[in-house]
Structures are given as C-alpha cells and as structure tokens.
Amino acid sequence: MARRREKDLAEALKRDPERLPGHVAVIMDGNGRWARRRGLPRIAGHAAGRAVVRNIVIASSNLGLKELTLYTFSMENWNRPRTEVSALMHLLDQTLREQVDEMDENNVTLRALGRLDLLPKYALSRVERSVERLSKNTGLKLNIALSYGGRAEILDAVRGIARGVEKGEVRPSDIDEDLFRTFLYLPDSSDPDLLIRTSGELRISNFLLWQLAYTEIYITDVLWPDFRGRHLYEAISVYQKRDRRFGGLRRASRTRR
C-alpha cells in the first residue's frame, strides 16, 4: 500500500513538472530519538538513516529534481562525544564507498560544502574521490553539508571579500548580493525552493542562513530513519499549493530555474 501511494504521488507530481521545486534542502533530524525509542545506541539511528539517504537520492533523481542538499554534519556536531563523532566519520566513509557506484549509475553529481579541512584525512579523501568520480555526471546535484554552519559560511565569505579588498581586487562599492554569492561554498548553487525538516523541530539550526531567505519550509514529525520517498513527495505536493510572492503582492511564477 505504501509503495503504491508513493508511486501515485510521484506520477501526480510528474504531470506538472513546471511546478516542481528545482532545489530541495533537508535537515535530517531524529536519528538519536529513533534509536532511543528502540533501546539502541545513537549510532544505530545514524546507520538506519544511511539507507534513507540512498532512497531519497533515488526518489529525487527519478522525480527529476535538479538539486538536493542534505545537512549531514554540522559545525556544532563536533561538540558531540568523540566516540560518536568518530563513528559518524566512519559511517560517512562507508556510505560513500558503498553508494558511489549506484549514484554514478543514476547520473548523480556529488558536491560537498562546509569547512571540509576539519574532517579526518581518511574521510576527506573519501569525499574528494567520490566528488571526482561523479564530477562528469549531468543529473541530480547532490550537495552534502559537512562540517557546515550557516554563520561559518557567511564569515568565511566575508573574510574572502576582505582579502580581495586588501589586495585591491575588490572595491567596497562592488559588494552586492551577486558578488557575495561568489564567495559562498557553492556559488553556482541555486537558493533552495523547499526546506524539509524531519522530527518536528521548529528551527533551521544554522543551516544555509543566506540561501534560505525566501525558501518555503515544510516540517514533518516523521523521524529521519522513518522518512520515505512518499514523505518527500507529500512535502513537494504541499509546496506546489503555496503562493510564493518573494515579498511582492502578485503571484510569483512557479517556473523552475
């Protein structure tokens, strides 16, 4: 029944491709609570969430989304116990190692954003090799936010602009939103049209602070390990019914960018 509903939702969304969001961002929350409710260690929740990532990437690719950004590991996550951080890094390494072939088969491009230099060498190497392996693909752009914080990204952009001013490459009068964007981690990435947060929490947790200015937000109580393609499609269905005016009064065009 669930698979049939998922298929029906996908077919309904595909019938109106011009109203699909071009870029969906996801805060994958609830792994710890999922594990705790089952009397399992927290890392078991993260491991369960790994399979969900695979399914959502495939569902997004099949639907024809252009871009998907997943909040994978935040700057604040470095403050967790060392054992948990180490387990998460090894899980990242294992996930990319196991799923890169399938991503390649599905024509997925992989990109990473964040202070990647803070990652352990083995994890960073795995990320870099996976990014290179998938770099020539032309389908879904999968962005994984690693060692990422919205404030950190803005500060790093400001520092980059300041260095440009110091070298005489940038004039203060040149600084506008377009120039600022070129100093972000992924300057060619479009702003998310839709942000999905699982687990019912009502906050954006320092995620894509610059980019989310006019993003539609969808909150679901479903914990990330229980999230499925049908939940993604339900969120997109709700998005399609919203009137995006971007601060104006007239109904905005829903044409994908």
Is 191 a catalytic site residue? no
- Distance, C-alpha 130 to centroid of its chain: 17
Q: What is the distance between the alpha carbons of residues 162 and 165, in angstroms, rounded to a whole number?
A: 5
Asked about 62 being catalytic, the answer comes back as no
User: Which one of the listed residues 16, 55, 62, 77 is annotated catalytic?
Assistant: 77
**Dist. CA 236–CA 77, nearest whole Å:** 28
Q: Collapsing DSSP states into helix, strand and coil, what is residue 235?
A: helix
252/45 Cα distance (integer angstroms): 40
Is the CB of residue 142 less than 8 Å from the CB of residue 68? yes
Can you list the alpha helix ranges (DSSP code H) found in the chain? 2-14, 31-37, 42-63, 82-105, 121-133, 150-166, 177-181, 229-240
d(CA 244, CA 101): 37
Cα-trace Rg, the chain: 19
Residue 174, Cβ neighbours under 10 Å: how many? 12
Determine which one of 29, 31, 143, 193 is catalytic.
Answer: 29
Contact predicate 64/236, CB 8 Å: no
Residues designated catalytic: 29, 77
